[in-house]
Amino acid sequence: MKNCRCFWPPGQPVRLAGALLAALLAGPSMADEAQAACRAEPDDRQRLACYDRSFGASPAASIPEPGNPKVAAEPITPGTPVSLMSKTWELNENDRRESFVVRTFLPNFLLPLHYTSSINRSPSSPTHPVSPTNENYRQIEAKLQISLRAKVIEDLLLPGANLWVAYTQRSLWQIWDSADSAPFRSTDYQPEAIYVVPVPANMGELPFGWNLRMLQLGFAHQSNGQQDPLSRSWNRAYVGAGLEHGNFGVMLKANHRLHEKNKDDNPDLTDFIGLGEVAMNWFAGSATVNLSWRPNLHAIDRGSLQLDWTYPVFANQPAGLRWYVQMFSGFGETLLDYNHRQTRLGAGLTLFQF
């Protein structure tokens, strides 16, 4: 037996013997059937668990795999608050995942029914003439958004601070306009870089039970990729702060527009859409609610308000396919419509969340 390499954790042979003895006392036929089923298990840990289930033995504490003594997870104390913001942005060590793995960023959805109170048939800007009018555009179109992100650098400059890159693409699709072969009326492309700094728990405590979870510093470019007279774009740097209170989350952002040297397709953009954003999230049981407000502090009739609501299609799969309803009112739903006021209502599905 000198050459035998055994990986029996302490106490496991005794527990196996006890489970087998219980089987023999229970009766020959039951013991034979149970033993045959348990012998078919592929490894010792699964075989032992089978004996426990079959003969009433107390389930074992986590038994470490050979060479992996840390397999047992830390117990979660009942009532311990779970920070969804921390899980999303990996603010705590326990929430960390691998770098260069693609995850969702903003909601990913398809709204095949998306109604607008005022379709923009002739987009315009101060630097471009009014574009030709398209009378075939329907007030009901489809809206879809794909938004992804990935963590690229960990512990950058500060402990726990990570650099992320993200990409968002949002399209308005005249799927019901058969006269023009169902064209994409508008598509916005937005790459960005986001530097996320977690706030230590002892420094983030705020009055009334609120917690400051993180700070953000970002840079974003947004353009619609079209030629004149429909070309629209802008660059911005922003700072943000994330706060939480139970199932409520608030993200505050302030934008600084970076002016282009050679050409500006939409110099009055921020006069209509504002320079800040307040996004409020509420996880109400199985439903999620998001309210986004982009104000213009100099003109109360500018800016926008957007409400998003989701609910699982299948009750037993809350992280799977979800119903999605979106309402928007104001300016700037897309770059092409930045100076066009409208109210929109859409319904459809989220494509994926991970």
Q: Would you please indicate which residues are annotated as catalytic (active-site) residues? A: 221, 223
Tokens, residue 186: 């508008």
The CA distance from 202 to 84, in Å, is 18
**Unique residue bearing structure tokens 């996004």:** 279
Q: Taking each helix axis as running N to C, give the angle between helix 44-55 and helix 12-26, from 0 to 180 degrees, rounded to the nearest 10.
A: 40
DSSP state of 209: G
Alpha helices, DSSP H only, in the chain?
12-26, 28-39, 44-55, 84-89, 201-204, 269-273
Tokens linked to 56:
């009433």
Contacts of residues 219-223 at CB distance under 8 Å and 24 or more positions apart, as own/partner, are 219/192, 219/193, 220/190, 220/191, 220/192, 220/193, 221/190, 221/191, 221/192, 222/188, 222/189, 222/190, 222/335, 223/188, 223/189, 223/335
Q: What is d(CA 143, CA 104) in angstroms, rounded to the nearest whole number?
A: 18
Q: With CA atoms as reference, report the closest residue to 231 among 257, 260, 255, 254.
A: 260
